[in-house]
Structure 1
């Protein structure tokens, strides 16, 4: 059984259809990345999976006892509010000092317990958010553009850590990313989303699918295109046929 699956998932926000007919499943130990232009419903889809966004149609099925660790796209903490890392990691449930220490070591920022959250660098802050997610001992780790605002070396190091955690913990990883070179390096499967699933498969298959190229252009970085925030796109139908055709060609 999949850890979590969505069947014909649909979401409307403010009378606008954001997601329609989305089918999805992820297995234990798998790394799946969702790509798509701004406004394509990526974050809404993640919120629907964790139960924070009501559905208008379809259903979500979770494995019994599924534990999810969630790393949000951004989290604002008032810089005037005194809050240590240890205190933050103990919200909303109190955590023992040994658990906090172990989680911080696991994400390669040991000895930050006494530091103020407001004093952390961007990379440290994201790793503390990741440590908080790991305290749930997750079967599924969900990251919503968790490296936004980090420079390229910091981002690459963060995703290498994610891959190590997948190997060490055996958890599945579902992430939204705008860094397509990371997608190629780290993902078992890529889902291209633009209100519905345009195409999916291994990174190489998705990169060669016409639906993907219509969204992102053809670019020059190997098979994967450069991400274009301003690229408008409309299309019809599904790309299962393209997915299978490119799989045969691969």
Structure 2
């Protein structure tokens, strides 16, 4: 079932064309990653889907009543503002304690409810933003470079949590990422964007596409090597992909070796 789609969408920032004639659709339960260089329109695509920017051409369709969770690229919190995590999760409208606790548990940080937002590490903050995005069990989860600033094991662990949430909630996931080597192991489909859709498809197909290599260069070989390492064996339908920190560090060494 298609959750959301774009047909021929074009968007400008002033006179600058951010997106041109973009066709896009995401279906229930799918994980789609959007990659592209800086200024390629990745964040604009997500902001258009949540209605924060309007296209000057084309259309965006989504079913009435569809719930969308959104994890922004950045969130600045005044360090002098007293704001515990539990209170943050109830803004702007009150959320029950049980729902807040469930969201933190699902995000992998059940013990952070009483911590001050300003005292969180980068990884903890991203997990709290993820908890806020899944409070109401969204049909579609949108993430804008959610692992920016995290080290590679931290990024790998975050993406494994996203895979687990897809299974727990049955939601679709659309994320913008610059962590190509991790993305390859976490996505059903990759879209390469550079103001328009350059190529899209299964991660291994996109990684070998001339358009992708033209944008990212020879370093994409490391990304594909890591993707193959993770998926060179069969998985049962209900398998657990969370292999722990040792698995993340093993992948780090594999990537460095490939480079």
Counterparts of 1:1-250 in structure 2, within 5 Å, are: 1-219=1-219, 220-221=221-222, 223=224
- SS at structure 2 position matched to 1:223: helix
Q: By how many angstroms is 1:152 displaced?
A: 1.0
| Cα offset, 1:183, TM superposition | 1.7
Contact 1:218 1:224 in 2 (8 A): no
CA distance in 2 between counterparts of 1:30 and 1:118 reads 34
Structure 2 match to 1:232: none
Q: What RMSD in Å do the two structures reach over aligned CA positions?
A: 1.3
Q: Distance in 1 between matches of 2:222 and 2:113?
A: 40
Per-residue displacement from partner, 1:103-154 (whole Å, max 9, x unpaired)?
1111111122111000111111100000000012100000000010111111
Structure 2 alignment gaps of length 5 or more? 227-259
Cα contact 2:107–2:130 (8 A) shared by 1: yes
State whether residues 73 and 145 of structure 1, in contact with CA within 8 Å, keep that contact through their aligned partners in structure 2.
Answer: yes
Q: Secondary structure at the match of 1:81?
A: coil
Change (3 A) 1:224 1:21: farther
State whether residues 8 and 23 of structure 1, in contact with CA within 8 Å, keep that contact through their aligned partners in structure 2.
Answer: yes
Are the aligned partners of 2:141 and 2:171 in contact in 1 as well (CA < 8 Å)?
A: yes
TM-score w.r.t. the length of structure 2 is 0.85
1:222 offset after TM fit, Å? 5.6
Higher-helix-fraction structure: 2
* Alignment coverage as a number of residue pairs: 225
Aligned in 2, Cα 1:87/1:17: closer, same or farther, shift over 3 Å?
same
- Rounded to whole Å, the distance in 1 between the matches of 2:44 and 2:223 is 30
Which ranges of 4 or more aligned residues in structure 1 deviate by more than 2 Å? 222-225
> For structure 1, which runs of at least 5 residues remain unmatched after alignment?
226-250
Distance 1:162 1:65 in 2: 23
SS at match of 1:206: helix
| Separation of aligned partners in 1, 2:116 and 2:37 | 35
Match of 2:242 in 1: none
Deviation of the 1:64 alpha carbon: 2.5
2:253 aligned partner? none
